[in-house]
Homo-oligomer: A and B are copies of this chain.
Amino acid sequence: MPRLVEYEDMAPRAKAVVDGIAAARGIDPATINNVWKALARDPGVMEQFAAEMKAAFAPGKLDSLTKELIYLAISIANQCEYCIASHGTMARNKGMTDEMHEEFMRVVLAAQKGNKIAMAYRVPVDPAFDGA
């Protein structure tokens, strides 16, 4: 078992990060999920990641579910089991239906294939795409 620090045992800087997340989610800090219990060992990294997540999911032009799907797509490409499980659950909680999941997976798998095709055939970028 890797080292997880329970909320009650966290140092003040780590507790403050968890308090902020728990308040935003309306949950009991003691039920915070494992990634924060693991990061509690490195409070500087924890603070920076919490700030980055907050900025990434702040209300904006892209809706919250779209952002979860982008997060989940990256996690599948990177094969991160923890992130697939956690953000898959969050996407469900934010309204991803079975139909949407299947459409999502179709795009993910088509992209995977397109990526490998482009590399395997060493396809040069078309001039029309080159200003992107």
Contact = CB atoms under 8 A, between A and B. Distances in A.
A108 B84 CA distance: 14
A23 interface: no
Given A2-B130, A70-B69, A130-B1, A116 B125 contact: no
Contacts of A87: 111
B2 A75 contact: no
A82 B100 CA distance: 25
Interface in A1-20: 1-4
A124 B87 CA distance: 14
A25 interface: no
A130 B37 CA distance: 16
A13 B90 CA distance: 28
24 contacts: A2-B130, A2-B132, A3-B132, A33-B128, A39-B121, A45-B102, A49-B114, A49-B117, A55-B106, A57-B107, A60-B100, A62-B100, A69-B70, A70-B73, A70-B111, A75-B111, A75-B114, A77-B116, A84-B119, A85-B126, A89-B128, A112-B113, A112-B116, A122-B132
